[in-house]
């Protein structure tokens, strides 16, 4: 399974930021893993045009469950696809918390994304209180069960485990903690879909200094990277670590 280094720019980046993509392409024209950037929607079409014909893929950060309609400010999956997206991130903890997105809402978005030809990166993760309460695996398995609708195509699915308490904090779970969750995810997905070819990403303060250690963990097939994906030098170090894993 080819590794995937996915960069989530979140609500960061203007046109000037595309110079970082130019630097990334110059430094890594033929990376040993798949590389994805999910910029803010305002940059998506420009970035897709810029990287056309290169190894770099482009994705959206969210989509609406409906293909069109009276949903001011939202973006549909067909719109993302038309703009040049290959992937879309769904169910990120910031969407679940800040926009009260339930597993059912995420599941509807997964159906919409795959119907539009996009690969869905579905995020799961526990809060610090849930981790401290020993509920991590229960939370993760429940999120997976509820967030993947009937008819989900495993060939167009990626799962990202992002412990909420580690996102943007500089804190990282131990390798044993990451391994436990990824092993449970692999078993659950294999049982449901009959395949072990669904990529499992780890996300949560991934940076060049810890990437190699994280990618050595069984069933970690890549990373969903936040802040470190904004700079070519930092994201490049993560790409190099994954390419060598």
Q: Tell me how far apart the alpha carbons of residues 237 and 53 are, in angstroms, rounded to a whole number.
A: 23
Active-site pick, 20, 34, 64, 92:
92
Query: CB under 8 Å, gap of 24 or more: what pairs does 51-56 form?
Result: 51/21, 51/25, 52/84, 54/25, 54/29, 55/28, 55/29, 55/30, 55/31, 56/21, 56/24, 56/25
CA 163 to chain centre: 13
Active site residue 92: yes
Write out the E strands in the chain: 4-8, 34-38, 56-60, 87-90, 119-124, 157-161, 199-202, 222-225
Q: Tell me how far apart the alpha carbons of residues 177 and 171 are, in angstroms, rounded to a whole number.
A: 13
Active-site pick, 20, 94, 162, 240:
162
Q: Give yes or no for a contact between 153 and 114, defined as CB atoms under 8 angstroms apart.
A: yes
Nearest residue to 92 via CA among 63, 118, 58, 131: 63
The tokens for 52 are 């056309």
Helix, strand, or coil (residue 106)? helix
3-state secondary structure 201-225: EECCCCCHHHHHHHHCCCCCCEEEE
Residues identified as active-site: 92, 162
């Amino acid at each position: 399974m080819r590794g995937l280094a996915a960069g989530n720019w979140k609500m960061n980046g203007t046109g000037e930021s595309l110079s970082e993509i130019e630097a990334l392409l110059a430094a890594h024209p033929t990376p040993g893993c798949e590389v994805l950037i999910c910029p803010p929607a305002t940059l998506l079409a420009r970035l897709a045009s810029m990287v056309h014909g290169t190894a770099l893929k482009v994705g959206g950060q969210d989509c609406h469950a409906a293909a069109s309609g009276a949903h001011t400010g939202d973006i549909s999956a067909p719109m993302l696809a038309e703009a040049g997206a290959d992937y879309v991130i769904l169910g990120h903890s910031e969407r679940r918390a800040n926009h009260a997105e339930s597993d059912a809402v995420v599941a509807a978005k997964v159906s919409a994304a795959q119907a539009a030809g996009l690969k869905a990166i579905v995020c799961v993760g526990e809060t610090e209180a849930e981790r401290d309460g020993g509920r991590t695996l229960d939370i993760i398995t429940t999120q997976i069960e509820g967030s993947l609708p009937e008819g989900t195509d495993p060939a167009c699915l990626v799962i990202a485990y992002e412990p909420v308490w580690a996102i943007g904090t500089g804190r990282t779970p131990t390798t044993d903690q990451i391994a436990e969750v990824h092993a449970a995810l692999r078993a659950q997905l294999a049982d449901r879909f009959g395949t072990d070819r669904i990529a499992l990403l780890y996300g949560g303060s991934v940076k060049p200094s810890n990437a190699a250690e994280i990618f050595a963990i069984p069933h970690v097939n890549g990373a969903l990277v936040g802040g470190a994906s904004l700079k070519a030098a930092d994201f490049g170090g993560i790409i190099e670590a994954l390419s060598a894993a």
